[in-house]
A = this chain, B = another copy of it.
Amino acid sequence: MIQAGILGAAGFAGIQLAHILSQHPDMELVAAASDSLAGTLLKDAYPAFTGVSGLEFCTSEELEAQSLDVVFLAVPHTASLEQTPRVVGAGAVAVDLSADFRLRDASVYETWYGTPHTQPDLLADAAFGLPELFPQDLERARGRHERHLPCVVACAGCYPTATSLAAAPLARAGLLREGAPVVADAVSGVTGAGKTPSARTHFCSANESVEAYGVTTHRHTPEIEQILQVSGRLVFTPHLAPLNRGLLSTVTIPLAEDAPIACTEDAQGLYREFYEGCTFVEVLKPGAQPKTASVAGTNRAQVAVAYDERTRCVVATGAIDNLGKGAAGQAVQCANLVFGLDEAAGLEAAALPV
């Protein structure tokens, strides 16, 4: 069994990692670190673990004292800059769910996150963790791990994952129109706002309401632009909706004049081919649209595509669980690939049908 630890295990992404790992056939969760909850049983903080796990949160220090094969970092940005070197220094694979190693260009990181990037060497070698779009990155990470080199996987963010899965087939094919922005309007459940109680995450504020936030300024913007290679051309607006889990990104993509797409079926063909062989991405049939509930609690993504003849745009939609394929699921999928396991190990869960 691969020995796994989680830093930031008491947050929503961290605890979802614990949930997945508690049933992973090849990984064993041996250390779940939360400096604020150290000494507390997981089940006392998250009663869904009652009867499932007797594990207790430990301190980060206690985690670092153990010999682990892989450490998942479910910590805020900048905390990962600090902790990742120690993780890889101790010989573990670092699977980072923060933003610290996602942006290839440190100056972009510094612009959007307002803080210097202190680990340029690790950044240079980090793999980008979105296996469907960057399989070679995971392949390379696996090689580094096998050769005992420092191995960092920077898992894609939740909005970037859904948005990029929806838009990548067209972007990679070079079919985007010059001079017109790509517009991604995305809706997330409230787990996306994190565990810390606040006025905004109070039930009575979030319930029965929808709102946009981070308009023109959300830090996932440069990450999506990097993935899709549309620098300076993306307008990304996230929204909060009253559900626990789920993220839907609706991407409106103006097509280049000569793009060989004249109907929805053309677009679908392109998408189906693009995602052929991908376990976790389903391209829906014409007319169907993804519901976030259909992937809640899973590492799955559903994508639909529709062609708008009037405006010569494609409207592509991608649904994921923001804590699943948008965070913990993706991290485990990446770890599976780095360790040469079945990509889907521990990730077979299907969403509840209703």
Contact = CB atoms under 8 A, between A and B. Distances in A.
A161 interface: no
A49 B352 CA distance: 9
A50 B323 CA distance: 19
Count identical subunits in the complex: 4
A51 B215 contact: no
Interface residues of A, number: 92
A209 to B, nearest CB: 4
Given A216-B308, A237-B252, A242-B203, A353 B210 contact: no
B294 A354 contact: no
B201 A204 contact: yes
A232 interface: yes
Given A187-B187, A201-B203, A354 B46 contact: yes
B50 A294 contact: yes
Contact of A215 (B19, B241, B317): B317
A129 interface: no
A250 B212 contact: yes
A147 interface: no
A309 B324 CA distance: 33
Interface in A43-66: 46-52
A353 B209 CA distance: 12
Interface string A186-230: 010111000101110111111111111101100000000000000
A232 B311 contact: yes
22 contacts: A46-B353, A48-B293, A50-B282, A51-B282, A183-B183, A185-B185, A185-B252, A197-B198, A197-B202, A203-B205, A203-B244, A207-B242, A208-B293, A209-B296, A211-B290, A211-B291, A212-B248, A212-B317, A215-B315, A232-B311, A234-B311, A235-B252
Given A183-B185, A187-B239, A235-B315, 10 more contacts: A16-B352, A16-B354, A48-B353, A180-B181, A203-B242, A203-B244, A208-B296, A211-B289, A212-B315, A241-B242
Interface of A: 12, 15-16, 18-19, 22-23, 46-52, 179-181, 183, 185, 187, 189-191, 195, 197-199, 201-213, 215-216, 232-235, 237, 239, 241-246, 248, 250, 252, 254, 279-280, 282, 284, 288-297, 300, 302, 304, 306-308, 310-311, 313, 315, 317, 319, 323, 348-354
